[in-house]
Structure 1
Amino acid sequence: MTDHTARAAEILQEHRESIDRLDAILVYTLGERFKHTQAVGKLKSQHNLPPSDPAREDMQIARLEDLATRADLDPEFAKKFLKFIIQEVIKHHEQHQE
């Protein structure tokens, strides 16, 4: 292995370790987020509130698009990601209401 190839492999490993740490942060963060959304779902169920709040969802999507732009992340990707999360949350809220 040449010096350049060895250095490239070292840099690649550093990036992969960072990616692994960030993946763990994402998973734990999503876990925390879902704990709160589950509590919201129970509260909504107890008070006969609808499982979804389209106005809140629209505000969150706009907020996330802005954050994504500032973080140099594709806002369309961020929007799709949040919509997926919102769908999962609503599904859980609907299950609480059944």
Structure 2
Amino acid sequence: MTYDSTASSLTGTTDPAILEELLAIRSSIDNIDATLVYLLAERFKCTQKVGKLKAEHDLPPSDPEREKAQIKRLHALSQDADLDPAFAEKFLNFIIDEVIRHHKAISQERP
């Protein structure tokens, strides 16, 4: 994959020193994004194992009490991290929805 980390609509129109600082900050963002992708991949490997275990034992794909507890936990973590708890909840709900979709698919694949 080719990625131009210096791509910007601001090149040639912005003070080079400011652009250099901007690109340095963006480089940190790019590293964080890559880390997030790999962390999500690891998380989904674990949730796939959970889905298989649930399917093997005829357990439901979702666990509402676990989900509520996770959201509560994430609210506390996000407050400690100075992150908007509402955003953190939306992000977790997106992940939970995807995990449940995977669990349902795994369950339907079993004979």
- Note whether the superposition's TM-score is higher than 0.5: yes
Q: CA deviation at 1:7?
A: 2.1
Provide the identity percentage.
58
State the partner residue of 2:46.
Answer: 36
Equivalent runs, 1:16-95 vs 2, <5 Å: 16-95=26-105
Unaligned runs of 5+ in 2: 1-13
Q: Deviations over 1:21-60 (max 9, x none)?
A: 0000000000000000000000000001110000000010
Q: CA deviation at 1:6?
A: 2.4
Higher share in helix:
1
Unaligned runs of 5+ in 1: none
State the partner residue of 2:7.
Answer: none
- TM-score norm. by structure 1 comes to 0.93
Write out the 4+ residue segments of structure 1 that deviate beyond 3 Å after TM superposition. Answer: none
Q: Which has the larger displacement, 8-17 or 34-43? A: 8-17
Q: CA RMSD of the aligned region, Å?
A: 1.1
Q: What is the count of residue pairs matched by the alignment? A: 95
Q: CA deviation at 1:8?
A: 1.1
- TM-score norm. by structure 2 comes to 0.83
